[in-house]
Structure 1
């Protein structure tokens, strides 16, 4: 029996004690990372955000088998963020669509999540109305049956109304537990014909941005999930049947998030090194051209 077929659905439960140590470790690691980034100047933080968002867009798409040129993604992000980045290859409608979704999720994280917003995201992910060669319905809940055993289409309005009411409520508050549950709940409902995973990960990023009260992103969960794709799908699959105890899913999610922060130290290594450099040489009299070159 699938969890959405149970009479107690969607009353998720978990053992707080089993995830307490990992939740604490995640919050400690996040605090360290945000503290390091907070000490950098605006230009360096902007550059770090660009690097992480590039990873988020590229890797979230890669998880679903769609590969984008990272330089084209960087070009699209830079243009939308108002950053002066020359010499990069142009983007395309597909890249721009994914970029628009992630920037709306993180940049407007305080806004309510609504059916209209989700449908706009879905339309942006599939600007041609096709997934590969197959025409799909975009910007609306699915009507056709799907291969994944999801709730029937006739239940989608009710299921999504309930999900959105929970998401926009103060229940749990913004935080990693809510991000993990929102991701699981959304992919279980599977409201669209395609793109559910990418939208679920955008929702996840929205919650984390809301929790941090910042649109600047300094670690990429999708980058880490792509590295652990088999385990990610296995963890989701294991949770889809059985009881509504999601302790194992939360445990995996926190472990992945901890590793994502560790990975960000490598991704942002150059940015952090430049921050350390400026701490050391802040009193040196450098001209504007030298400063620009060092910050690249």
Structure 2
């Protein structure tokens, strides 16, 4: 038995309508925006989702470090465990992103186990098999006391039947809104807890996949994993799951869970829109700066990374602009000489940050925080 999907109230319908309006507007804007900086934004959002979802499980790597790892950088100061977890999750997320427009697509136990192997294969063992249903009990322990089980999953013998029921549900349109179905899929999977490890990230990834399959936005702009990874939201996330009870009790009203997810969708859409708006303004300021300084426009991508993400590496700039090693080195050396950039770190791990002559207006725009509204608060 799975959790029944609750009916939406009039207030819920209004929130869904607002989310849809924001997402359609964002889609329109992205279609009419130069690809060069939107590609950088796509990569950042993917890295942000990976960093956030892993952080919920205790693997903490900053978004910019995740970006560097995604670019193949070796000299990133993270532990080997965090490196492996980051790259595994990034590979799985990349595959999920490619499925957003796959033809003849269907959900299956094989697909879910295959995704789990991509996530956990590097940790495969007899005790914790990857890509296979668990063979014994599974517990989610209290973060303050590992001796207390905050949640105990269904018996291992029940998992195959529950997962078969979930796959059937995933492949059947019950008339619910796609965002609601994605939230329910997350709840179903995390509650069944079918694997020995990696259940939280798999559940969040399934939600991302279902939103991406909806087709309104590219998957990089659809995930709420970054929102869930913010500390306050992570606490609320755990609280919402805890409200479902210490054991698998699917015969209950989960309206609160749906509203929590609708809030996440709404605020993540606001966040992405704000980042798009800031990116557009920053890119314009830096383009004007490059023109005034009579330098090649290609340097804008390097300056953009510094303004928006705090730093740029030579390899990232080289790949973004399709340059040779010598061209990239020469451009960055010239920017250092003119004090637009300042080098930091050793030769192999060197990165570049804003120098004394970096366009201050671009930094001000990039660093100005935005304000989010709460869709269920009357004074928004």
TM-score by length of 2: 0.64
Match of 1:83 in 2: none
Aligned in 2, Cα 1:214/1:223: closer, same or farther, shift over 3 Å?
closer
Spell out the pairing of 1:257-276 with structure 2 (5 A cutoff): 257-268=265-276, 270-274=278-282
1:164 CA drift (Å): 1.0
2:74 and 2:153 mapped to 1: Cα distance?
45
Any idea what the Cα deviations from partners look like across 1:162-193, whole Å, max 9, x if unmatched?
A: 11111122333772111111111111111111
Match of 1:191 in 2: 194
Q: Over alpha carbons, which structure has the higher Rg?
A: 2
1:167 and 1:57 mapped to 2: Cα distance?
24
SS in 1 for 2:194: coil
2:152 to 145, 149, 163: 149
Q: Are the aligned partners of 1:51 and 1:268 in contact in 2 as well (CA < 8 Å)?
A: no
1:269 CA drift (Å): 5.2
Match of 2:47 in 1: 54
1:127 CA drift (Å): 3.6
1:212 CA drift (Å): 2.8
Verify: 1:123 aligned to 2:132, yes or no. no
1:87 and 1:190 mapped to 2: Cα distance?
34
Aligned in 2, Cα 1:243/1:214: closer, same or farther, shift over 3 Å?
same
Number of aligned residue pairs? 280
Match of 2:25 in 1: 32
Spell out the pairing of 1:201-212 with structure 2 (5 A cutoff): 201-212=204-215
More displaced 10-residue stretch of structure 1: 192-201 or 258-267: 258-267
Q: Are the aligned partners of 1:239 and 1:249 in contact in 2 as well (CA < 8 Å)?
A: no
2:87 to 64, 75, 96: 96
Spell out the pairing of 1:1-296 with structure 2 (5 A cutoff): 9-78=2-71, 89=76, 92-109=83-100, 110=102, 111-129=105-123, 135-147=127-139, 148-172=151-175, 175-213=178-216, 215-218=218-221, 220-227=223-230, 228-240=233-245, 243-268=251-276, 270-274=278-282, 287=296, 289-290=298-299, 292-293=301-302, 296=305
2:297 and 2:164 mapped to 1: Cα distance?
54
2:234 and 2:187 mapped to 1: Cα distance?
15
TM-score by length of 1: 0.81
1:242 and 1:217 mapped to 2: Cα distance?
31
1:76 and 1:120 mapped to 2: Cα distance?
23
Gaps of 5+ in 1: 80-85
More displaced 10-residue stretch of structure 1: 184-193 or 115-124: 115-124
Any idea what the Cα deviations from partners look like across 1:138-174, whole Å, max 9, x if unmatched?
A: 1111111122322211111111111111112233377
Aligned in 2, Cα 1:222/1:30: closer, same or farther, shift over 3 Å?
same
SS in 2 for 1:12: coil
Aligned in 2, Cα 1:181/1:293: closer, same or farther, shift over 3 Å?
same
Aligned in 2, Cα 1:42/1:138: closer, same or farther, shift over 3 Å?
same
Aligned in 2, Cα 1:39/1:193: closer, same or farther, shift over 3 Å?
same
- Structure showing the higher helix proportion among its residues: 1
Aligned in 2, Cα 1:276/1:162: closer, same or farther, shift over 3 Å?
farther
The CA RMSD measured in Å over matched residues stands at: 3.2
Aligned in 2, Cα 1:277/1:155: closer, same or farther, shift over 3 Å?
same
Aligned in 2, Cα 1:76/1:154: closer, same or farther, shift over 3 Å?
same
